[in-house]
Amino acid sequence: MTRSPVDEVHLSRIVIFVIIFFILPASSCSGRARNIILMVPDGMGLANVTAARISKHGSNPLPLSFETLDQIGYQRTFATGGVITDSAAAASAWACGEKFSNGEVCYHRDGRPYQPNILELAMKSGRSTGLVATEAITDATPAAFGAHVPFRRCWKEIARQYIEESHVSVLLGGGKALLTAQEADPCGTAGDLLRLAQERGYRVVADRKELEKAVEEGATKLLGLFSDHALTPEYIRKPESAEPRLREMATAALRVLEQNEAGFFLLIEGSLVDRANHENNFPYQVGEVLAFDEAVAVVRAWVDQDPKRKAETLLIVVPDHETGGFAITGPFSTGKDADGEVETAWTGKKHTGVDTIIWSSGPGSERLGRAIDNTDLYGIMADALK
């Protein structure tokens, strides 16, 4: 029997209906995500992005990897009691969904209750979790996702909570000296936290080769401490350095966490953009932004490997605040002066109160393509985990 054009149209509509409602993964329709990857270039402002792009491509307007994510919005960053946030209050707003005072890590010093953080929600849902940073792994941003402490310098207590309460699957970064120091931290926690991690079943690694070996051997609980404090800045890093770069730590974390069929939550922080901006150091800043973007490219390649994985992974790139009031100046149309250097200026060496950009893709990202408060990110991620 020959079908009429009308029949063909009806058949096409039925096929489209079936594809949308029955074949596409549920996450693509519901905003639910199996995996959430939150990537934070600490202290990065939009002018830092422009400078890194010019430094990499010159007058060629090719975007950086994170600039081509599906959604773009921006967030307000103020903390309790002031316009200017620090990293602890900013990360706590994301992790726990409410405003905090500077220095508080998902903890109210006045005794008010606080919500469980996003990492705890992920853990309770059966997902694995990971924290990666180029600063100390107990620094303010990762700390907000794995601990609740009144002061950001409670490094030992933060590490203890990672190990004994939050049960973070993957911890990669710096800060070995902070975990092994003899003296107690401001919260009163003392002892060798590195030894505690080993006693609790973590595979502990100290350099790139050990990290690669642990991943190849199928480690499921991994602690990598690659320096006493922060990792080496990109602009002075030597090629033969034994420290893994951010993109290598990101790759390792993904390989460990992807073993869990239930999914995972992963925070990846390019921590040293903030340090570079505090120092008003242009080569330092550009090197860290570009290294962060390389890590984003690695993550995006992992996401794009599998259509199902892409449909089930919420990827968010967002700075916690801006630092230094950086700007690109000068009369030259190419953005470079006669010596080939980008002309720059700074307003100071502290954090500023400006809004920061959010780039995102994946289930739930459509809710990020607008102006939001930093506390709104909590609800969006929590809904994606349901």
Q: Which residues are catalytic?
A: 87
Spatial CA neighbour of 35 closest among 318, 222, 300, 291: 300
* Residue 55 CA to its chain's centroid (Å): 23
Question: Between β-strands 327-328 and 322-323, what pairing exists: parallel, antiparallel or unpaired?
Answer: unpaired
Q: How far apart, in whole angstroms, are the C-alpha atoms of residue 231 and residue 163?
A: 22
Residue of 159, 119, 167 lying closest to 137 (CA atoms) = 159
Q: Which of 34, 20, 102, 81 minimizes the C-alpha distance to 362?
A: 34
Q: Would you call 204 helix, strand, or coil by DSSP?
A: strand
- Give the 3-state DSSP-derived string for 167-192, with helices as H, strands as E and coil as C: CCCEEEEECHHHHHCCCCCCCCCCCC
Query: What whole-number distance in Å separates Cα of residue 204 and Cα of residue 208?
Result: 12
Radius of gyration of the chain (CA): 22
- Contacts (Cβ under 8 Å, ≥6 apart) of 319: 40, 41, 42, 43, 44, 45, 273, 356, 357
Question: Of 172, 192, 174, which is closest to residue 182 (Cα–Cα)?
Answer: 192
| Maximum alpha-carbon separation in the chain | 86
- What are the backbone dihedrals phi and psi of residue 9, each rounded to the nearest 5 degrees, phi first? -65, -45
Counts of helices then strands in the chain (DSSP H, E): 15, 14
Distance of CA 212 to the CA centre of its chain: 21
Quick one: CA dihedral 235, 239, 243, 249, positive or negative? positive
